Amino acid sequence: MKNVKAVILAAGKGTRMRSELPKVLHTVDGKTMIQHVVERVHALGIGEIIVVVGYKREMVIDHLRQVVPELRLRYTIQEKQLGTGHAVMMARPYLQGFQGRVLVLYGDMPLINPRTIRRLIETCQGEVKAVLLTIVLDNPPDFGRIVRDESGRVLRVVEVQDATPEERAIREVNVGMYCFDNQALLGALERLRNDNAQGEYYLTDVIEEIVQNGGRVETVVAETLEETLGINDPDHLRFAEVLKHIEYAESLYELIDATLAMTRARGTR
């Protein structure tokens, strides 16, 4: 893992959280979301962790310096929120000349399993220039759809707002965690455009750029639905807390109580 760098996206405000606190500083199981993510990435022995900050960046940086003072994290600033691809562009000063792999993930995924992260990184080698974490659902949410050719090879990821009805019917969706060959990533970032419904630079468009330039893209399917949860609003936060109680349940009755609490949390709107 020494030849791997990680980029954690943590620049957003998180408007749907209805709070002035940066989204990644909300807590789950006694730790902030960003602390969970940083610690899980560091535990794998990844050589360098780059955190992309933006909204109230001093608060996020100060927090991390307090809770993980032993880590020498790198920081880069996304002044304007112009999309996930743009956020990764801000990390380019730390990636230039690097001949290795780059893990990209969000700072609001506190339940991600380190084993899943390792599978993603280990799959990204040789001819494979990019790997996405996906999940297959009967009724998927508004996540990007994984478009494949007749042989099953990944062609691109299409965001729901840009998808055709046929593409919206695809059951395999993008979770939002990636591993890239760094040189393939940097080349694709140079070619990114923002001619889409949102007018943003999508990180998902990097996949098609890599494929069109001869790179092979693979997927890793998440082991559980829970670990793919990105926290976007207070209901998600409560749900994540209840999931931790289920994980720690030591008896049947504790499990029943936690499951009932989770059901109530899911029904809160």
Identified catalytic residue from 16, 115, 264, 266: 16
- Nearest partner of 53 among 90, 109, 10, 85, judged by Cα: 10
> Hey, what are 144's tokens?
């990007």
Instruction: Give the HSE-up count for residue 228: Cα atoms under 13 Å, Cβ half-sphere.
Output: 20
Residues 6+ apart with CB under 8 A from 228: 109, 112, 133, 135, 175, 176, 222
Check if 171 is active-site. no
> Hey, what are 198's tokens?
């949102």
Just list the catalytic residues: 16
